[in-house]
């Protein structure tokens, strides 16, 4: 059971619940053994003509009393065993999600969302079943078997008991062989479910693309393939389970045949009484359930082990980026940023994405980063946020190496608007106030949305700021999503503001208004603007031009236009595009 050692803290904390549940379970098993003795006594009295009306009342009351005790006991073991297993499910799901939050972004580049969702649903459910229902069946099987055998041997006939139990070794062999097969097939089922979940999620997320390219048939074919594979793997497991349980039941039922033939002969020879025979059959009936339960236990435990191993694989994953032993917190950064001889390549990549990057942004200055697609612009800000670690060089914030700053406090001092403008499926209010533990004030929310030029759009919605967005903000236009994301960063009010191509979906007039609004706050903040549009960056204090991961030009707008380089080329190209677009509108 080494696989479940990950949960040792939970077991230590809740061991009393399991102990109380097991005690109630053993009590019920013990009480169940009284019923055959009552039936034995009644049968012998009836056979001897000694059963009176008072005796019927007495023994009926005893049977009702045992039934009541069993009912109460079952309630309590369900609360203490099944209830604790539900707490285990909550604990494990919380632990898994917590750990996933600590992992570096690169982990999510190599692991699909569907696979992670399967771990958080099916796998955790399998673990819960093995440590809830599995424990119940195991304890029930062990104690009911031992107590039943003792009662059979002591109250009836040892020889008959031994003959009735001859099938037990066959059950043990069957369970051992089938258990390994069940484990392998259940592992395949979970992997197939992961693929199926990921295919489904991807198709739902990309439904608009699928429809616009009229690829419904292709999407259906991909879904059907994943669905069929999931069905096939499940049927493979069902087939082995379908053989396993009836086979265990059949072998166990042979004991009944032996008892009926041999036990009946003992009754006719007057070696045992009819009451002994009936009691023995009742004990054997109680014993058949544990024999069958052994099969269920092995099935549940093997499934639980397979799923726990898959979960452990994630829990054992170490985050690539962690605080150093001497990391210090920063309450409010001033905002001076320095890159010194920085080299960086993504994990498993052989070539550098960034090479020999050197620049300094003084407190309150604005730096613009310009370059072709894929030149490494976003990688620069990813490194400042410590979403990835640099290979060589140093990045400083207020003169302190960011590796010596606590990651949490580093990121709390940066307001970041990423390229993808991810919005959550909640209200606009919640999205703008995402950086706050408590609900954002109306004043902060309105101010931020006005600076981002999205206030007028929001108030036109029927529910205003309480309008609930669709998945990833699908109910908003591209430009509205970008502006809500900008409002979220402004509301955070961190000393460093990063805008990563955050105005690409808005028209030039709106862009101009947003930039003018930002000027009032940018003077107090260190700002990094990444953009393809020269109009967005022309007023920056400093501009660096990246190409193939290297800084090839630096200066301000005027000085870069004097140099016949990439910046001037991009500027002239955009002026030409604007002229052509303007002429076409006039025409």
**Mind listing the pLDDT tens digit for each residue in 264-294?**
888 787 777 777 777 777 777 777 667 666 7
pLDDT value for 405: 93
pLDDT value for 176: 67
Phi, psi of 503 (to 5 degrees): -120, 15
In angstroms, rounded to a whole number, what is the distance separating the alpha carbons of residues 278 and 263? Answer: 10
pTM score:
0.75
Q: If you average pLDDT over residues 523-549, what whole number do you get?
A: 88
pLDDT value for 581: 58
pLDDT value for 586: 45
Nearest residue to 277 (alpha-carbon basis) of 381, 193, 372, 152 = 152
pLDDT value for 282: 76
pLDDT value for 249: 73
Residue 157 near residue 40 (C-beta atoms within 8 A): no
pLDDT band per the 50, 70, 90 thresholds, residue 56: confident
Using the predicted structure, report yes or no on whether residue 40 has a pLDDT greater than 80: no
Residue 502 near residue 452 (C-beta atoms within 8 A): no
Could you tell me what percent of the chain has a pLDDT over 70?
Answer: 95
In angstroms, rounded to a whole number, what is the distance separating the alpha carbons of residues 100 and 195? Answer: 19
DSSP conformation class of 348: T
Using the predicted structure, report yes or no on whether residue 560 has a pLDDT greater than 50: yes
pLDDT value for 119: 83
Using the predicted structure, report yes or no on whether residue 379 has a pLDDT greater than 50: yes
pLDDT value for 181: 81
More confident residue, 246 or 310: 310
pLDDT value for 208: 67
Query: In 316-427, which residue ranges form alpha helices assigned H by DSSP?
Result: 377-384, 407-412
Using the predicted structure, report yes or no on whether residue 148 has a pLDDT greater than 70: yes
pLDDT value for 582: 55
More confident residue, 409 or 209: 409
* 164-195: burial string, b at 16+ Cβ within 10 Å, e else: bbebbeebeebbeebbebbbebbbbbbbbbbb
pLDDT value for 419: 82
In angstroms, rounded to a whole number, what is the distance separating the alpha carbons of residues 158 and 381? Answer: 80
Using the predicted structure, report yes or no on whether residue 214 has a pLDDT greater than 80: no
Between the ranges 26-35, 47-56, 574-583, where is the mean pLDDT highest?
26-35
Strand pairing class (400-401; 354-361): unpaired
pLDDT value for 88: 93
DSSP conformation class of 7: G
Q: If you average pLDDT over residues 32-43, what whole number do you get?
A: 80
pLDDT value for 1: 61
pLDDT band per the 50, 70, 90 thresholds, residue 587: very low
Handedness of CA 104, 108, 114, 118 (dihedral sign): negative
pLDDT band per the 50, 70, 90 thresholds, residue 344: very high
pLDDT value for 517: 86
pLDDT value for 413: 92
pLDDT band per the 50, 70, 90 thresholds, residue 496: very high
Of 74-78, 127-131, 132-136, 143-147, the one with minimum mean pLDDT is 143-147
Q: If you average pLDDT over residues 392-415, what whole number do you get?
A: 92
pLDDT band per the 50, 70, 90 thresholds, residue 380: very high
**Mind listing the pLDDT tens digit for each residue in 182-207?**
778 877 887 888 888 888 877 877 77
Phi, psi of 544 (to 5 degrees): -120, 140
Using the predicted structure, report yes or no on whether residue 585 has a pLDDT greater than 60: no
Could you tell me what percent of the chain has a pLDDT over 90?
Answer: 22
**Mind listing the pLDDT tens digit for each residue in 291-326?**
666 767 777 788 888 889 889 988 988 888 888 888
Using the predicted structure, report yes or no on whether residue 584 has a pLDDT greater than 60: no
Helix 274-315 with 34-47: angle, nearest 10 deg: 170
Q: What domains, with CATH codes, occur in the chain?
A: 2-193+238-315 (1.20.1560.10), 323-413+495-557 (3.40.50.300), 422-493 (3.40.50.300)
Using the predicted structure, report yes or no on whether residue 403 has a pLDDT greater than 90: yes
């Amino acid at each position: 059971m080494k696989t479940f050692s990950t949960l040792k803290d939970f077991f230590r904390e809740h061991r009393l619940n399991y102990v109380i549940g097991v005690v109630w379970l053993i009590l019920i098993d013990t009480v169940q053994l009284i019923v055959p003795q009552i039936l034995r006594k009644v049968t012998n009295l009836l056979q001897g003509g000694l059963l009176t009306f008072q005796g019927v009342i007495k023994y009926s009351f005893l049977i009702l009393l045992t039934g009541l005790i069993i009912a109460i006991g079952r309630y309590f073991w369900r609360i203490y065993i099944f209830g604790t297993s539900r707490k285990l499910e909550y604990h494990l799901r919380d632990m898994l999600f917590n750990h996933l939050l600590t992992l570096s972004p690169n982990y999510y580049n190599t692991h699909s969302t569907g696979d992670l969702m399967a771990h958080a649903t099916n796998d955790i459910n399998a673990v819960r079943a093995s440590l809830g229902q599995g424990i119940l069946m195991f304890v029930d099987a062990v104690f009911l078997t031992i107590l039943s055998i003792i009662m059979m041997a002591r109250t009836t006939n040892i020889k008959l008991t031994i003959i009735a139990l001859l099938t037990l070794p066959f059950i043990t062999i069957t369970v051992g062989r089938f258990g390994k097969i069940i484990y392998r097939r259940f592992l395949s089922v979970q992997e197939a479910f992961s693929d199926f979940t990921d295919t489904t999620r991807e198709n739902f997320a990309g439904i608009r693309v699928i429809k616009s390219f009229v690829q419904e048939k292709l999407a259906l074919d991909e879904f059907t393939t994943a669905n069929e594979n999931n069905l096939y793997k499940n049927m493979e497991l069902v087939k082995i389970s379908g053989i396993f349980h009836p086979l265990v039941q059949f072998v166990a039922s042979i004991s009944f045949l032996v008892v009926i033939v041999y036990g009946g002969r003992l009754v006719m020879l007057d070696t045992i009484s009819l009451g002994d025979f009936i009691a023995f059959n009742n004990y054997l009936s109680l014993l058949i359930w544990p024999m069958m339960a052994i099969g269920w236990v092995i099935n549940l435990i093997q499934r639980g082990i397979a799923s726990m191993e898959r979960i452990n694989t994630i829990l054992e994953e170490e985050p690539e980026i962690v605080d150093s032993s001497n990391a210090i917190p920063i309450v409010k950064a001033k905002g001076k940023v320095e890159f010194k001889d920085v080299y960086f390549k993504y994990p498993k990549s052989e070539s550098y994405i960034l090479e020999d990057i050197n620049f300094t942004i003084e407190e309150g200055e604005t730096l613009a980063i310009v370059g072709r697609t894929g030149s490494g612009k976003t990688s620069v800000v990813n490194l400042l946020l410590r979403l990835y670690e640099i290979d060589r060089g140093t990045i400083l914030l207020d003169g302190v190496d960011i590796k010596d700053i606590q990651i949490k406090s580093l990121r709390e001092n940066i307001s970041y608007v990423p390229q993808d403008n991810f919005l959550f499926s909640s209200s606009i209010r919640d999205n703008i106030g995402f950086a706050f533990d408590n609900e954002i004030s109306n004043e902060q929310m309105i101010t931020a949305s006005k600076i981002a030029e999205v206030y007028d759009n929001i108030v036109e919605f029927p529910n205003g700021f309480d309008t609930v967005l669709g998945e990833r903000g699908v109910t908003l236009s591209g430009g509205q999503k970008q502006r809500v994301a900008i409002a979220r960063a402004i509301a955070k009010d961190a000393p460093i503001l990063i805008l990563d191509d955050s105005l690409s979906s808005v028209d030039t007039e709106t862009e101009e208004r947003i930039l003018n609004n930002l000027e009032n706050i940018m003077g107090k903040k260190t700002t990094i603007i990444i953009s393809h549009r020269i109009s967005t960056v022309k007023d920056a204090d400093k501009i660096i031009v990246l190409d193939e991961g290297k800084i090839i030009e630096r200066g301000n707008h005027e000085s870069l236009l004097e140099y016949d380089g990439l910046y001037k080329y991009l500027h002239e190209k955009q002026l030409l595009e604007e002229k052509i677009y303007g002429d076409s509108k006039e025409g």
